[in-house]
């Protein structure tokens, strides 16, 4: 019950999120319950099961990229490929182990979340079964308002117009004084 978008730009990646928090019985806008987490060289936003998303964002210590992409191969495309490889071989397995310790199993019933993650300036999406996606058009949208925002982005809207589209059509997404949470990460 969220809207989070990720946009891959030429020299950086940007992520935006709404401020509405929803439960089965109520919804409210909260500037303190942030949906985007910045953890050293990573930035990620989660949507889905509230308790699971809170654990991922606030209780879990994710692994950090421990080598320079340039050590792997020398090119901007290789840096992106390295980040994708690192997510699949290091980040997702660590997330699976951490969730298992909390009683969650990726891909099972009750484990409902999506994540947009920025690794060294490159945007990816992770599904609740651990699948890592890298979209060629560089546009991502998750949560109940994600499809509205993504549709707006694909037709040429900027991030603010896309977030407003989600806020308009999704009852579970809202801004705070017409602002949205934003994180930008430059490519390294």
CA distance 158 to 178: 15
What pLDDT sits at residue 68? 59
Q: What is the mean pLDDT of the chain?
A: 86
Question: Which has more confidence, 68 or 50?
Answer: 50
DSSP label of 44 = E
What pLDDT sits at residue 36? 87
Give the pLDDT confidence of 105-127 residue by residue, as tens digits.
887 877 788 999 999 899 999 99
Q: How confident is the model at residue 177 (pLDDT cuts 50, 70, 90)?
A: low
What pLDDT sits at residue 73? 54
What pLDDT sits at residue 79? 84
CA distance 177 to 106: 36
Buried b (16+ CB within 10 A) or exposed e, 155-182: eebebeebbbbbbebbebbbbeeeebbe
Task: Please state the rounded mean pLDDT for residues 1-30.
Answer: 85
Question: Which has more confidence, 155 or 103?
Answer: 155
Checking if the pLDDT of 64 tops 90, the result is no
Give the pLDDT confidence of 12-23 residue by residue, as tens digits.
999 999 888 777
Task: Please state the rounded mean pLDDT for residues 60-73.
Answer: 70
Fold of 4-186: 3.60.20
What pLDDT sits at residue 86? 93
Find the DSSP H helices in the chain: 50-54, 69-72, 76-86, 92-101, 146-154, 159-169
CB 99 within 8 A of CB 111: yes
Bridge-partner residues for 126, per DSSP? 115, 132
CA distance 139 to 131: 17
What pLDDT sits at residue 94? 95
Checking if the pLDDT of 76 tops 70, the result is no
Crossing angle of helices 159-169 and 146-154, in 10° steps, is 140
Q: How confident is the model at residue 84 (pLDDT cuts 50, 70, 90)?
A: very high
CA distance 98 to 87: 15
What pLDDT sits at residue 105? 84
The residues, any chain, with a CB within 8 Å of residue 95's CB and separated by 6 or more, are: 56, 60, 62, 106, 126, 130
């Amino acid at each position: 019950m969220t809207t989070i978008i990720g946009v891959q730009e030429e020299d950086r990646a940007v992520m935006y999120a709404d401020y509405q928090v929803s439960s089965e019985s109520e919804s409210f806008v909260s500037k303190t319950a942030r949906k985007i987490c910045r953890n050293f060289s990573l930035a990620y936003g989660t949507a889905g099961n509230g308790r699971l998303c809170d654990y991922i964002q606030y209780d879990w210590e994710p692994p950090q990229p421990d080598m320079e992409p340039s050590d792997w191969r020398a090119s901007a495309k290789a840096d992106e490929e390295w980040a994708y490889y690192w997510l699949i071989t290091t980040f997702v397995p660590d997330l699976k182990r951490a969730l298992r310790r909390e009683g969650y199993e990726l891909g099972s019933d009750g484990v409902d979340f999506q994540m947009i993650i920025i690794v060294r300036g490159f945007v990816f999406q992770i599904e609740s079964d651990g699948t890592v996606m890298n979209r060629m058009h560089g546009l991502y949208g998750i949560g109940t308002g994600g499809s509205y925002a993504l549709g707006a982005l694909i037709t040429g809207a900027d991030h603010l117009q896309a977030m407003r589209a989600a806020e308009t059509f999704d009852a579970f997404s809202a801004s705070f004084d017409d602002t949205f949470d934003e994180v930008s990460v430059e490519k390294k």
